[in-house]
Amino acid sequence: MARNAVAIPERAVPAGVAVGQSYWQIAWRRFKHHRVALLGGAVILLFLLLAIFAPYLTPYSFEQIDLLNRKAPPSLKHLLGTDDLGHDVLTRLLYAGRISLTVGFSAALTSAFFGTLIGGLAGFYGRWLDNVLMRITDIMLSIPDLPVIIILARYMGGSVVGIVFVLTLFAWMGTARLVRGEILKLRNQDFTEAARAMGASDVRILVRHLIPNALAPVIVAATLTVGSAILLEAALSFLGVGIQPPTPSWGNMLQNAQDFIWTAPWLAVWPGAMIFLTVLCFNFLGDGLRDALDPRLKV
């Protein structure tokens, strides 16, 4: 070895990680090894495609009624049967996926945005602003959310925007706490001090340096929030205060299904199965993302 050569430790680079890989490339490599999460993501993608292309996959309209085939069992004409009004169940199931998935994704994105904003400001500035924002968060967490959500949803008229607003109102607090904790750890790191020494503004430091490094728990939380929002929307619609007919959602398809559970079980089985599979797959996806995005875990 040359006199001035520097010995590189054998374990300076983790095994299986190529030199020069970014954090997100490493996360993707780790995620690909999580087969259950990949399966969950594939099923979610399939449901999204079915919802998007619903008008091209069925010859019926979701409002079309066949009074001569009310509560008809599955057949070649109606693959999943018909409901008590003669609607084609498959058609309404596909169109309902549009509403339920839209509500889930919208509530997750908006709650992630407001949670990240509030948590970022609280963690970065601290002091009185941190106290005010975190006390508001504590108050929101102490409110019994389900009764209040039902009351608010009742006065929102059953619109998608109204349901998303109500769900977002009670879904941002967990993200805010996660982001605040991450920002508190990062705000005094060397790269933050270097950016401040170079004259970067508070907004630039927060938006360009701190929040991108705190996104991993936000992504996982948002993934799980989608499933929770779909469940809550289904519960509200089942109770009659969510999405209102004739607009279909998986929840309001179950609204009267209990009355026909023995005579027409497919009215409860298919929307219930879609809710179950969607929420389960989002939980699988969130679990895989948590493992992939946390560098302390071995995959």
Tokens at 150, concatenated? 């039902």
Greater model confidence, 209 or 2: 209
Q: In this predicted model, what pLDDT tens digit does every residue of 81-127 receive, in sequence order?
A: 888 888 889 999 999 999 999 999 999 999 999 999 999 899 888 88
Mean pLDDT of 64-73: 84
Phi and psi angles of residue 177, each rounded to the nearest 5 degrees, phi first: -70, -40
pLDDT at 49 > cutoff 50: yes
pTM recorded for the entire structure? 0.83
pLDDT at 296 > cutoff 70: no
Q: Decide: helix, strand or coil at residue 33.
A: coil
pLDDT at 202 > cutoff 80: no
**Confidence (pLDDT) at 20:** 58
DSSP 13: S
Give the Cβ contact number of residue 221 at 10 Å. Answer: 24
Q: Decide: helix, strand or coil at residue 174.
A: helix
Q: 88 pairs with which residues across the strands?
A: 82
Residue 38 burial (CB < 10 Å; 0-12/13-18/19+)? middle
Q: 82 pairs with which residues across the strands?
A: 88
Tokens at 35, concatenated? 């087969």
**Confidence (pLDDT) at 47:** 93
pLDDT band, very low/low/confident/very high, at 11 (cuts 50, 70, 90):
very low
- Residue-range domains of the chain with CATH: 77-293 (1.10.3720.10)
Phi and psi angles of residue 41, each rounded to the nearest 5 degrees, phi first: -65, -40
**Confidence (pLDDT) at 138:** 92
Q: Which residues contact 5 (CB under 8 A, 6 or more apart)?
A: none
Q: In this predicted model, what pLDDT tens digit does every residue of 156-193 receive, in sequence order?
A: 777 889 899 999 999 999 899 999 988 888 888 787 77
pLDDT band, very low/low/confident/very high, at 23 (cuts 50, 70, 90):
low
Alpha-carbon distances, residue 283 vs 91, 124, 203, 293 (angstroms): 26, 31, 34, 15
Tokens at 175, concatenated? 């993200």
DSSP string, 176-197: HHHHHHHHHHHTTSHHHHHHHH
State how far the Cα of 120 lies from the Cα of 183, in Å rounded to an integer: 6
State how far the Cα of 230 lies from the Cα of 51, in Å rounded to an integer: 15
**Confidence (pLDDT) at 187:** 81
Alpha-carbon distances, residue 75 vs 72, 88, 271 (angstroms): 8, 11, 18
pLDDT band, very low/low/confident/very high, at 297 (cuts 50, 70, 90):
low
pLDDT at 56 > cutoff 70: yes
pLDDT at 60 > cutoff 70: yes
State how far the Cα of 90 lies from the Cα of 122, in Å rounded to an integer: 47
Phi and psi angles of residue 88, each rounded to the nearest 5 degrees, phi first: -70, 120
pLDDT band, very low/low/confident/very high, at 213 (cuts 50, 70, 90):
confident
Q: Quick one: what percent of the chain has pLDDT higher than 70?
A: 90
Contact 252, 103 (CB under 8 A): no
**Confidence (pLDDT) at 21:** 66
**Confidence (pLDDT) at 1:** 42
DSSP 18: -
**Confidence (pLDDT) at 65:** 84
**Confidence (pLDDT) at 115:** 93
Q: What is the largest CA-CA distance in the chain?
A: 93
Q: In this predicted model, what pLDDT tens digit does every residue of 219-270 receive, in sequence order?
A: 888 988 998 999 999 888 888 888 888 888 898 888 878 888 888 888 889 9
Residue carrying the six token digits 């996104």: 215
Helix (H) or strand (E) holding 219: helix 215-239
pLDDT at 15 > cutoff 50: no
Average pLDDT of the chain, as a whole number: 84
